Amino acid sequence: MNNIFSVGSLYAGVGGICMGFKNNGFSLSWANEYDKNACKTYRSNFNHRLIEGDVMQLDISSLDKVDVLTAGFPCQPFSVAGYRQGFDDKRGNHFFKILDFADAMRPKVLFLENVKNLVGHDKGRTFKIIKELIEKRNYTFDAKVLNTKDYGNVPHNRERIFIIAFDKDLDPRFFEEFKFKFPEKEDLTKTIQDVVTNEKVDDRYYYGEDKYMYPMLKEAMRRDDTVYQFRRQYVRENKSNVCPTLTANMGTGGHNVPLVKTPYGFRKLTPRECFRFQGFDNSYILPEIAISHLYKQAGNSVSVPVISRLASAIMKVLNSVNVSENHLVETA
């Protein structure tokens, strides 16, 4: 008899975290996402329950309890003094909402993702309170910044912090001196040419001689083995032969546009290529919505291969402890 651990996903986006857990044998129970266009993409790729709407308005009691609660949550400041005195700064804060879910569901694992600057956010107060409140609930607490190019074998310079917390009550002896073992760095074997198509793409992605920035691109973009960024007034070359961090506003407003030099001219990355730089394979469905939304979704996403390695490590821990009371799906 094998145990399949269930997952509930807050701030699910287009399902990068969900995909990583699904790829490692977890069962996806439900997800929540606010952005309507991200929900369209999510529904194109998953068939479990998706609750579209504001997480602050979610009725927690209406959701199935899960073994793993995941959240790539917005980062907000707390007032340390206000928090300790029980003032109103708790209200409307996304992290405190996650704690409401944790208290109601008591998942075996909390999996949180954020920008790497979370540690220094609000002069370190934010991270201090996050750690304090998770440990106060008798969870372990381990956190590490992982770069996609070092931990996902995708040529994308993307640093994110991951917080992994296990319920100590599952096996007090096992977790007494526990430290979560994050994946080891691995060699980057994939190149930009493995991600960017060498075929001609739709004309709308190219910058021809009629574009005002064409002379600038022609002068700066000499190599076809790296990704450049156009930043309104100048072109920036990535010297390390990886894609610079994809952003939610790339491809719009002339800011942070990722560009490549191809046999067919200078062009920006296509949405499909951006999703590939996040580790989504070509079977992942991109719906017929405005490409600006797809760029935003790729820029906001997590890198699937990094999540997969973390999910695999989490699965090993769960299979090592005594999980007597749970929300498991049992399969023969």
According to DSSP, the β-strands at 6-10 and 27-33 are: parallel
**Nearest CA to 166 among 130, 131, 141?**
141
Alpha helix locations (H) across 23-73? 36-45
> 18, 75, 243, 274: which one is catalytic?
75
**Nearest CA to 306 among 277, 271, 269?**
277
Q: Are 94 and 50 in contact (CB under 8 A)?
A: no
Angle at 39 between CA 259 and CA 47, to 5 degrees: 115
User: Distances in Å between the alpha carbon of 126 and those of 83, 123, 137, 263?
Assistant: 11, 8, 17, 48
Residue 75 catalytic?
yes
| Amino acid identity for residue 9 in this structure | S
The H or E element that residue 110 is part of is strand 109-115
Residue 165 has φ and ψ, to the nearest 5°, of -135, 130
User: Distances in Å between the alpha carbon of 232 and those of 22, 118, 211, 250, 259?
Assistant: 40, 28, 13, 12, 13
Q: Looking up tokens 């409401």, which residue turns up?
A: 100
First to last CA, the chain: 5
Two structure tokens written together for 132: 């304090």
Q: Are 269 and 195 in contact (CB under 8 A)?
A: no
Cβ contacts of residue 132 below 8 Å, gap of 6+?
none
The H or E element that residue 217 is part of is helix 214-220
Residues labelled catalytic: 75
